[in-house]
Structure 1
Amino acid sequence: MTRVVFLLVPGVHLLDLAGPAQVFSTAAGFGHPYALSYVAEQPRITTAQGLPVAADLEWPSLSPEDLIVVPGWRTTGRPGSPGIGGTVLDALRAHHARGGTVASVCAGAEALGRAGLLDGRTCTTHHDVQEELARRHPKAVVVRDVLFTTDDRVITSAGIASGIDLALHLVAVRHGPAVAARVARQMVVYARRNGDQPQDSVMLRHRSHLDDVVHRAQDIVDARFDRPLRLPELAAAVGVGERTLSRHFTRATGLTPLRYQQALRLERAEHLIGHGATVDAAARSVGFEDPRMLRRLRGRRAA
């Protein structure tokens, strides 16, 4: 069981809070247990949208596997308010020192800055308060125009909807990109990426669509990419004809089902080779009967 503690401050933005909470709650519904807690310095918090929210005053016991998330709050061009007490800052520092992960959404980066967790690390926040965050915390490396950053278990996001991207990233790191893609699909959002890096996963790269037939087909291919999978079998499994599946799949992903499977195999093979496997061993591991096919695919990508 992984515990996710949301630290709430007066004026917290609902989407900064609800977006990540929904991601972890959805992942829990898929069998990846998360326990969500809400902590504040007072028992009742009024959000920026006027909704009162109840919170616990006592912090739960946390392990290094657990996560603290600081959602952002309404600002007037300055991330420096509201007041955050020393006990809260001590809790953030202590959790990170024990090996835990801390994250922020939007102006919540200010809390991490006050705790000294941004010093010498890359971070980001909402574009309205980036300059002020950099001024208040000159040892921080504030990165502009990205969705989120991650640096030594300190993760910050740009704000509002990007908190969903941050949470999906954490789910992908902990449980794999296929789980993150499934969560994104359930939430009817795109599985997006960090703005300053290339897409890292074939699974996520080709999940930015809303075609349910194709998502169901991808679920099957993702789970069985290293085994033979014929188009008639795949089409029957999702309840459509072969031509219909091919047309939908190509339109949604830019690839045929076979090319998608090959891309998954190639990505996994490259990972194995990078960790010391021979080309022949990697080819067999990902399902290629003939290693020459893997060599051809690697050659095409390098060309």
Structure 2
Amino acid sequence: METRRVIFFLFDQVHLMDLAGAVTVFYESGCCGQPYELRYVSPYPQAGVSCGLSFTNLEPLEAVTITSSDILMLAGMDLSKWNHADDMKWIPWVQAAAATGATVCSVCTAAFALAVAGLLDGRPCTTHWGYTAALQEHFPKAQVLENRLFVQSDNIFTSAGISTGIDLALYLVEQDHGPAFAYKVAKDMVIYIRRDGAATQQSVHLQHRQHINHQVHQVQDYIAHHLPEKITIDDLAALVFSSSRNLTRLFKTVTGITIGQYIKELRQEKALQLLKEGHKLSWVAQSSGISSQGELRLLAKQAGRGRLA
């Protein structure tokens, strides 16, 4: 399988964290066994960093031809120092990248660059909370959303800025290699996995992983992969070499809910997902571990299902 490319686009006066956060996710993905080819391009041979550093040996735009399988990430920059006289040096290149179907992403203020290129016209999008009003004012055709970590519209992604570039990059890694692998990358980076609360990927599993306790992560992973089976606290405690009492207390402390509540919510979420996909009640019960017909029929109503076979 060909290694997927991630091309990082650097403006002059780029914000270091907007770039480094996403870079680290894809780099760590390689360390965990799923490598990406990382490339760095710019309209300038040397791009300054807003904090006073600089990047050299950047590839010129014409040296990289974007394909539909590529990820292009534009890092945010200091808007007060943006030289619009140079816009035509890069606008056609970015537009061509989007037209190929490549995954085009902006971090923080780089959303303004996508807007200048016309790529946000008619699209839901976001940027750093301090700039959402300005983005909407200057680009009224864009549908600017507030309080979102990142927003997807077809192959165009915009993120709110700084650390949310990490969230977006983890999401892309998850799309390529699955949630378990994305959790592994996040764990190696010693960060939380967050997701946009308005998006479907905000699962029960993710909502209660806002911690870095390895034992509880092991328990959560085990539960997620054994939902159809009988799961006892004693078995979970043995898995992480703990007493049942200590695990019960630890799990509630770091997740905010009990182990029993967590299992119940995961099973309900799984059942609801399968019901929405149109699966029969018997298969939903077998796959989710929910044996109560009454509970399943209640979930079916939430899923908008009528009669169930």
Bin of the TM-score, shorter chain as denominator length: 0.7 to 0.9
Q: Which amino acid aligns with 1:230?
A: T
3-state DSSP class of the match of 1:194? Answer: coil
- Aligned partner of 1:259 among 258, 261, 270: 261
3-state DSSP class of the match of 1:37? Answer: strand
Give the Å deviation of 1:133: 2.4
Q: Which whole-Å CA distance do the structure 2 matches of 1:129 and 1:280 have between them?
A: 50
1:292 corresponding residue in structure 2: 293
Give the Å deviation of 1:245: 1.3
What are the Cα deviations for residues 60-104 of structure 1, in whole angstroms up to 9, with x where unaligned?
34432321110101233x8x5465543532232222222221110
Q: Which amino acid aligns with 1:295?
A: L
CA contact (8 A) 1:283 1:294 kept: no
Q: Name the TM-score, length of structure 2 as normaliser.
A: 0.85
Distance 1:145 1:300, change over 3 A: same
Q: Which whole-Å CA distance do the structure 1 matches of 2:67 and 2:228 have between them?
A: 36
Q: Which amino acid aligns with 2:90?
A: V
Root-mean-square deviation (CA, aligned residues, Å) is 2.8
3-state DSSP class of the match of 1:209? Answer: coil
Give the Å deviation of 1:47: 0.9
Q: Which whole-Å CA distance do the structure 1 matches of 2:297 and 2:242 have between them?
A: 32
In the TM superposition, 1:199-210 aligns within 5 A as 200-210=202-212
Q: Name the TM-score, length of structure 1 as normaliser.
A: 0.86
What are the Cα deviations for residues 234-275 of structure 1, in whole angstroms up to 9, with x where unaligned?
222222222211111122223333432332232222111111
2:191 corresponding residue in structure 1: 189
CA contact (8 A) 1:284 1:291 kept: no
2:71 corresponding residue in structure 1: 67
1:122 aligns with 2:124: yes
In the TM superposition, 1:221-240 aligns within 5 A as 221-240=223-242
CA contact (8 A) 1:71 1:104 kept: yes
CA contact (8 A) 1:177 1:201 kept: no
- Aligned partner of 1:35 among 13, 34, 37: 37
Give the Å deviation of 1:27: 2.6
Q: Which whole-Å CA distance do the structure 1 matches of 2:66 and 2:83 have between them?
A: 27
Distance 1:196 1:263, change over 3 A: closer
Between the two proteins, what is the percent identity of the paired residues?
Answer: 39
- Aligned partner of 1:142 among 141, 144, 150: 144
CA contact (8 A) 1:66 1:101 kept: yes
The number of residue pairs the alignment matches comes to 299
Q: Which whole-Å CA distance do the structure 1 matches of 2:86 and 2:107 have between them?
A: 16
Q: Which amino acid aligns with 1:171?
A: V
1:56 corresponding residue in structure 2: 59
CA contact (8 A) 2:272 2:300 kept: no
1:101 corresponding residue in structure 2: 103
Q: Which whole-Å CA distance do the structure 2 matches of 1:286 and 1:189 have between them?
A: 29
Q: Which amino acid aligns with 2:78?
A: R
3-state DSSP class of the match of 1:103? Answer: strand
> Which consecutive residues of structure 1, in runs of 5 or more, have no partner in the other structure?
none
Q: Which whole-Å CA distance do the structure 1 matches of 2:45 and 2:227 have between them?
A: 50
CA contact (8 A) 1:177 1:204 kept: no
CA contact (8 A) 2:271 2:296 kept: no
1:172 corresponding residue in structure 2: 174
Q: Which whole-Å CA distance do the structure 2 matches of 1:126 and 1:100 have between them?
A: 23
Give the Å deviation of 1:24: 2.0
CA contact (8 A) 2:15 2:75 kept: yes
Q: Which whole-Å CA distance do the structure 1 matches of 2:85 and 2:235 have between them?
A: 60
In the TM superposition, 1:18-33 aligns within 5 A as 18-33=20-35
> Which consecutive residues of structure 2, in runs of 5 or more, have no partner in the other structure?
304-309
Q: Which amino acid aligns with 1:70?
A: L
1:88 aligns with 2:115: no
Distance 1:280 1:51, change over 3 A: same
3-state DSSP class of the match of 1:31? Answer: coil
Q: Which whole-Å CA distance do the structure 2 matches of 1:45 and 1:68 have between them?
A: 17
3-state DSSP class of the match of 1:273? Answer: helix
